[in-house]
Amino acid sequence: MGSSNNNNYQNDVLTTPLPLPTPPAPPTPPPSAPYLIAYVLKTTSEFYDFHVSNLTSLTPENVGYTWQNRLLGWSQDSKSLITFDPNTGKFNSTQLDIATWLCSTCRILKIRDDVDVLKSSDIVYCCSDCISGSYHCSVNGFHFQVSDDPCEIQVEKSSDLYMVTWQYSTCTLQTTTFNGTDGSVKIGETSSCPNTTTPTALLNPIRNLVTSSKVLTRAFGETWQMDTVISERGDLVLFDRFQNLTNVIYFGMYSNGTTMEKDPMIISTRIDESIEHRLIAIIYPTRFYITRQNLQSGCVTTLSGPGYVEYRFDGSFGGGAWIGDDLMLWYSDRGGANIATFQFDFPSDLSCSPQKPY
């Protein structure tokens, strides 16, 4: 029987293929953590015409941990104060002649209600982006300035202004209380930034830092401060009241897998009225990330996958902040603002399975 010659084997032809270009390594996915899951329950969005040329700021009025159910707007161009009730949609606009110290942005933090004509002595406000490089505040007519940017500001019931400043180059924190009655200043202790090195040798250099404090306002009570850090890698790093690192939460706040999203970025933190939770919002013009931590159990809750909410609203991004347990975003537009609110469905967090800290 004759033999057949099969030339279909690929190995019969020996060639040296050209090497394929090495594709870029994909970003390393962060380790998953069994955090509790929250959902967006309700969203509202509406445009309000405040009849101002340019809305500079829109700030929730808080006294201590309690939101006063109104937003205080400020137009730097027209020197107009907007008092807005988001529950009814009603607002008042008042011309206000206050010093702004050659600063481009001012925020009205608290106003007095029992006066016919508002003056600077009836208002607590602060101004930033100043030509002098300082941060200026007026507390019931008393003027203060600090050289370092604040990482926390609270207005207390007596209209005292509590401030924590962050010195970036030395990485130190300084607490200061400005008395709204007699204008005195009480300077607290200076502390170092928290240590961001975990037991697994993960180092997260600090990019942004904000604090959340419980301030001693009565004869008896406790005072403590918690740190929230955004690292250079885009991780959210949480510390307890003793500056112990408790969680590194990987939100993947990157573009192209390598570079962290650039500013503008707003970090809003809040201790709820019952002093049971720390609420954290990291807000970009088209995306936000939400975290809640139970102060007793330590249980952490994040948004359901992918861990953030994306959105689009008309206007120029102005910022955002917690209003109670809801999140408010605003965009300057056509003499007013597009104001959006997000309500969340948080799970019970009195206890949870062990959560991966790093």
Count of CB atoms situated within 10 Å of the CB of 74: 24
pLDDT value of residue 265: 86
pLDDT value of residue 9: 38
pLDDT value of residue 217: 57
Least confident among 259-268, 281-290, 293-302, 344-353: 259-268
Mean pLDDT of the chain: 86
Query: Is 272 domain-assigned?
Result: yes
Total domains in the fold of the chain: 1
Query: Is 18 domain-assigned?
Result: no
Segments forming the whole domain that contains residue 90: 30-345
Task: Express each pLDDT in 13-57 by its tens digit.
Answer: 333 444 555 555 554 444 555 899 999 999 999 999 999 989 999
Q: What percent of the chain is modeled with pLDDT above 70?
A: 84
Query: Is 12 domain-assigned?
Result: no
- pTM (2 d.p.): 0.87
Query: Is 9 domain-assigned?
Result: no
Query: Is 355 domain-assigned?
Result: no
pLDDT value of residue 18: 47
pLDDT at residue 142 above 60? Answer: yes
Q: State the average pLDDT over residues 258-275.
A: 79
Q: In which region does residue 323 sit, left (phi positive, over 0), alpha (psi from -120 to 50) or beta (all else)?
A: beta
Query: Is 335 domain-assigned?
Result: yes
Q: What does the DSSP assignment read for 27-85?
A: PPPPPP---EEEEEEEEEEEEE----S---EEEEEEETTEEEEEEEEEETTTTEEEEEE
Structure tokens at 259: 């570079």
The domain that contains 174 carries what CATH number? Answer: 2.120.10
β-partners of residue 289 are 282
Task: Express each pLDDT in 145-182 by its tens digit.
Answer: 999 999 999 999 778 999 999 998 899 999 999 999 99
pLDDT value of residue 152: 97
Query: Is 311 domain-assigned?
Result: yes
Least confident among 103-117, 229-243, 272-286: 229-243
| Angle, alpha carbons 324-49-308 (nearest 5°) | 40
pLDDT value of residue 356: 78
Least confident among 43-47, 128-132, 259-263: 259-263
Task: Express each pLDDT in 203-243 by its tens digit.
Answer: 668 889 999 999 865 544 678 999 999 988 788 999 999 98
pLDDT value of residue 328: 98
Query: Is 350 domain-assigned?
Result: no
Q: State the average pLDDT over residues 246-254.
A: 77
pLDDT value of residue 233: 79
